[in-house]
Amino acid sequence: MKVLCIQAAPIQFTKEPKSQDALHGRSAMLRCEVSDPADIQYGWLNNGQPLDDTERRFREVSNLKFTAVDRRVDAGNFECVATNTVTGEEAHSTNASFNIKWLESGGVTLKEPTTEAEIESSAPVTLRCHIDGHPRPTCQWFRDGMRLTEKTHQINNKERTLTFKSASPDDNGLYYCCAKNAAGHVCSNANFTLNIIDKSFPRPVVTPMDQVVLKNEEAVFHCQFTAVPEPTVEWYYDAELLTNKSRVILYTNGTLLITQVKPRNTGSYRCVGRGPRGPDVTLEASLLIAEIEDMSPRQSRVFTADTMQRVSCMAPRGKPQPEVWWEREGVRVPTEGRVYQEGSELVFSPTEQGDSGSYTCVAQNKAGRKTQELTFTVATAPVWVTKPQDSYLEEGRPGYLHCHAQATPEPEVTWHRNSIMVMPEDPRFTVFPNGTLRINNVEVYDGQMYACVSRTEGGKLSGNARVYVLEKLKFTPTPQPSQCLELDKEVNIQCSATGRETPIIKWTKADGGELLPHVEMRNSQLHFTKVTRSDAGNYTCIASNSLQGEIRAMVGLTVAVYIRFKLEPENTTVYQGHTAILHCQATADPEPRFTHRDDNNTHTTTLSSFAPYKMIQTIGLSVGAAVAYIIVVLGLMFYCKKRRNAKRLQKGQEGEEPEMECLNRGAVQQNGHTTAEIQEEVALTSVGTTAAAEKRHSSANEKLQFPREDLHTITTLGKGEFGEVLLAKAKGIEEGEEETVVLVKSLQSRDEQLQLDFRREADMFSKLSHGNVVRLLGLCREAEPHYMILEYYDLGDLKQFLRISNSKDEKIKSQPITTKTRVSICAQVALGMEHMSNHRFVHKDLAARNCLISGQRSVKISAPSLSKDVYNSEYYHYRQAWIPLRWLPAESVFEDDFSTKSDVWAFGVLMWEVFSHGELPYTKLSDDEVLEGLQAGKMKLPVLDGCPSKVYKLMCRCWAPSLKERPSFSEVVNTLGDLSSDSNV
């Protein structure tokens, strides 16, 4: 057998460390590489000793890295060691070292003589500069900031010394040195002051002191110099040389006496000493008249018992500086003990009940004594006198919840309803000074949990009470007082009521007569099997229970034959200028009234009989009508052209187009009048088009019909202009969901304008389709009251969400809202409003209370508009209407001019709400003051802490007085989009 041995190649360095220059404190690297790095382990030696890795000096793969070269630690030779971990072979590189360049600051010292006391005039003096470095630095000397040269002074660069062969007072001054080399440039860190005394130079012996005297008191300044020979002394006031006068006396020893000091004598006095040699020596002193200012009064302070407290007393301005101390009942507070004085501070260590009372801060100087009274109260925790209790309150009457606690000082009482604070400006509630809460008019939805919090600086006390509302007996809703029945049809008349007990419903005829056989009661309904003319008359619905008695509602019924068309108009094509006839006949009882409508105008004709006209009569009437129509059209064309030119001029000035639809109020009004576009040409074929559109609209509404029995009320959220707003569960209204929580707006008003506004609002939400606008889910119109069913979000309205996020109650406080989340909320509302404005709708009531938010912070624009109760304080009664005054621009309030640009103004206020935690805008101003501010054009909400400047600038643009200067919602969306991506937000 033969064994083949293969010998590994020896280790060969391809890169070896090389000696190099390095700067102290700077980075450097020694490199090391081998030809075959496989199985090679690297190490480094310094002066033959292995190196360990540190943060400053470590191996970087095979190289040795220095983050900061140290002239002391990194001196010597470095070598790289490469070891084969398989064969154990080891190779050493050549040695390498650093030529470390450095420069280190030092001070200037006296080299000769050895001490300053030995310095004499005309004797040699040597100063040394202790700046050192490598390579040796070059040195420069300075006196009082002026550089010294080798021509005028003896400078030794090698020894870094400065020598005076014969020092004199002329050489006196501040000396320092600076040096530089390849490592940099530094100056001395400790300098030397040379002060050679010449006996012929005047030197001060007695220095004058500043004087503060009373008016008409004398002032004395002492000043004395020494020199050989004796120096002279002169006194100056400002630049004037003083001589002996009636009230100014100069003594030979240099003393100055001023008798009966007046205000004109105050100022700076200079004493000047002059000797045979050397410069004059000037000493200054000031003369002031004593004074002390009054001390301003201070508010009383409240402290918590058993705490460490410090109260400072600021000394008033005075000359001389007043001394300050504390007194209680005329006795000075000691400097030690539980209550003591430390400097100008009064210290309680700790506070006790007996510390309550009056304390006096005293400030005194030569001018007099001033005092400042301060009352301290040591607060105690509240104790119950009357604790809130569960209460049964009657609907429709005032209700009281009592909450009385005792404490020092008198506790502050706040009430919360369902964890939301009852605001003082809320007209539905009154909080009395003794803590009692009055619900001014109890409603069913007031049946909630209430919490009373009694608070002082010493602590707080809280108590809960649940309110149970005793419902009054009432109709829900009250039956319509007059209703029309169709002859020969089966009809039900609704009547429902609620009370503490389920009421019994009964129907009777108002005249006391019996109900006819074909009329019967089915549950609470009055059922007509087949309506006859004898069914007309007055009926009474009676609701009663054993606890509350009975209530009655009168319903007047009329019987009529509903309108049926015998002859319907047909689509007709005609030539311009020719006569056009549209036939229309219908039957009804009572006699119907006919109305022909085109796209923009309404024409009404009432027929007294249905007998056919003779052809000549028809032709005559047609020709006459055609001529009249042409005259009217020509007149309208002239009027419209004139009006449109005026509108164009107005639009050019204001930069705003009128909107097509308004939420809650119908057509947009300009200067208090409803605008309507009048076409120059009226096409008769549009009649058919309008009819088709109405059919499509009717068909869409039929699809939205939702059975009332599948709607189950959860609670009443409040009341709006249309009626109650409910939270309910709707069965099967959304695909894939068994039950859906929805918002239900009811129409309980008989006002025709409100009924029209209700239909327009439903129509608007049915036409809008956007992720940030609530959807119309259904309608209930088969009986009174009509219902509009809208989307709802789990966290409710945005206003309450913002308030809760800022609540001090940790139990209900949600997670903090970040600035990015606030910007996101604003951006979502802006996207929804952009969609709304693109479809030419105006909201008119955009605010945080009318937006909904989910747990995922998704926001949708809605319109609960709870103006009658929950948010009544945010609406203002103006010109027979309730308006959201604090969210509207001047043109909307005073000119009834609503547009997309008025919605932009409201959006700016909404952004302010988001960043203020739902605070009421202009909260410190009354409604009348806000109205005056709008009239003056000076309304702008203040900047908020934590609100980015870019967001506040956008708010201010939204509040521009001119419509043209306000941004569009598209601009707002772009601006907020940029802010959302800004990392600084």
User: Known binding site: residues?
Assistant: 718-725, 745, 791-797, 849-850
Q: Is 845 a catalytic residue?
A: yes
Characterise 532 by phi-psi region: left (phi > 0), alpha (psi -120 to 50), beta (else): beta
What are the strands of the beta sheet with 711-719, ordered from one edge?
Answer: 711-719, 724-731, 739-747, 786-791, 776-780
Alpha carbon distance 419, 803 (integer Å): 10
**Contact of 229 with 264, CB cutoff 8 Å:** no
Please count the CA atoms within 13 angstroms of the CA of 844 that sit on its side-chain side.
Answer: 24
Alpha carbon distance 320, 342 (integer Å): 21
Alpha carbon distance 960, 968 (integer Å): 12
Please count the CA atoms within 13 angstroms of the CA of 591 that sit on its side-chain side.
Answer: 6
**Contact of 904 with 968, CB cutoff 8 Å:** yes
Q: Is the peptide bond before 350 cis (omega within 30 degrees of 0)?
A: yes
Alpha carbon distance 165, 69 (integer Å): 43
Alpha carbon distance 130, 127 (integer Å): 10
CA distances from 368 to 292, 293, 314, 793 (A): 7, 10, 16, 71
State whether residue 704 is helix, strand or coil: helix
Q: What is the DSSP letter of 455?
A: E
Tell me which amino acid residue 612 is: P
- Taking the chain, what is the end-to-end CA distance rounded to the nearest angstrom? 81
Q: Quick one: angle between helices 969-980 and 949-958, nearest 10?
A: 180
Determine the longest span between alpha carbons in the chain, in angstroms.
149
CA 19 to the chain's CA centroid: 64
- List 198, 535, 845, 896, catalytic entry: 845
String of DSSP letters for 14-34: EE----EEEETTS-EEE--EE
Dihedral sign for Cα atoms in the order 922, 926, 932, 935 = positive
**Contact of 596 with 584, CB cutoff 8 Å:** yes
Characterise 158 by phi-psi region: left (phi > 0), alpha (psi -120 to 50), beta (else): alpha
Alpha carbon distance 764, 660 (integer Å): 11
Q: What is the DSSP letter of 471?
A: P
Alpha carbon distance 794, 287 (integer Å): 77
Alpha carbon distance 586, 833 (integer Å): 45
Beta-sheet strands, E only, within 819-969: 841-842, 851-853, 859-861, 876-878, 881-883
Give the pairing type, strands 482-486 and 549-567.
Answer: parallel
CB neighbourhood size of 664 (10 A):
20
Give the pairing type, strands 219-221 and 256-258.
Answer: antiparallel
Q: Give me the residues paired with residue 474 across strands.
A: 498
Q: Which of 133, 19, 115, 13 is nearest to 76 (CA)?
A: 19
CA 952 to the chain's CA centroid: 9
CA 851 to the chain's CA centroid: 18
Alpha carbon distance 156, 179 (integer Å): 13
Q: Which of 370, 369, 368 is nearest to 215 (CA)?
A: 368
**Contact of 505 with 520, CB cutoff 8 Å:** no
Dihedral sign for Cα atoms in the order 897, 903, 908, 909 = positive
Catalytic residues: 845
